[in-house]
Amino acid sequence: MEQEIVVARQETEDLAIKVPEGVPQISGGTSEQYASSCYVLLCPRPCGNTLITTFSNAVTDVQGFVARDSTRKEIHVVLDTQILLVPLVAPGAKTASGVRVHSGFLTAWDSVVLQVLTVVEVQKKLHPDYSIVTTGHSLGGSIALLAALTLKGTFSSTEVRAYSYGSPRVGNEAFAETLVHSNDGVPTMIPSKLGYHHHGVEYWQHSKPPSNATTVQCDTSGEDPRCSVSIPSRGINLAHTNYFGILVSTPFCL
């Protein structure tokens, strides 16, 4: 499956929270700050930027927001959600035959996809030169990837970037950027023996503190044996709740 979704990698020296060179970072805050802010009920100015709308679905327990960064001309779609592989069917998603994804993640995304597309379409008409960024932590990271596929298929001429933190495997190898902290057990919770395969390039922070020396850019296979897959899953643990020194659910909303 060919993918045109771009993952940006850069470092900004003047940010209060330093991240290792090469790890994805976006203006107005790191992508992890956006993902962390999605856990709070009200976030009036995500990472200091403009909140366009919030969205949610009570049945699938999905929530998130769309924000606009006028400095970098980006539209941000940020998601969170509190084993069966199925075909990837979502509005705008264009994939090759044989592509399969987790049915629960797909159901969760499909429950809010029309809300998100409606808002992003309006924003793209108002700001046609803006790129689109999707971000999420844990299960929200999985949905952020599905969102990126839908958004790229819908807005084919727009640059779309996806960032996920501590995301579990989403689909099979045909489907196959995650960033993993230390011995976070969630990324390997869904076993590969069931047909699942990690997508993209993983950045694995294997020890503290976060720095160039403690963060590894893994290979492009998605299942680099030197990285998080080398540690047996222990499920949700302390490492899963903290990325780059940011405790998940810490709001960056002013």
Catalytic center residues: 138, 184, 240
Token pair 């771009």: residue: 6
What's the CA gap between 78 and 162, in Å, rounded? 10
Which tokens in the block code for residue 205?
A: 């922070």
Query: Cβ distance 96 to 174 under 8 Å?
Result: yes
The contacts of residue 153 (CB under 8 Å, 6+ apart) are 92, 93, 94
What's the CA gap between 165 and 115, in Å, rounded? 23
Which tokens in the block code for residue 154?
A: 């819908």
Q: What single string gives the DSSP state of each residue in 176-189?
A: --EEEETT-BGGGT
Q: Which helix (H) or strand (E) holds 238?
A: none
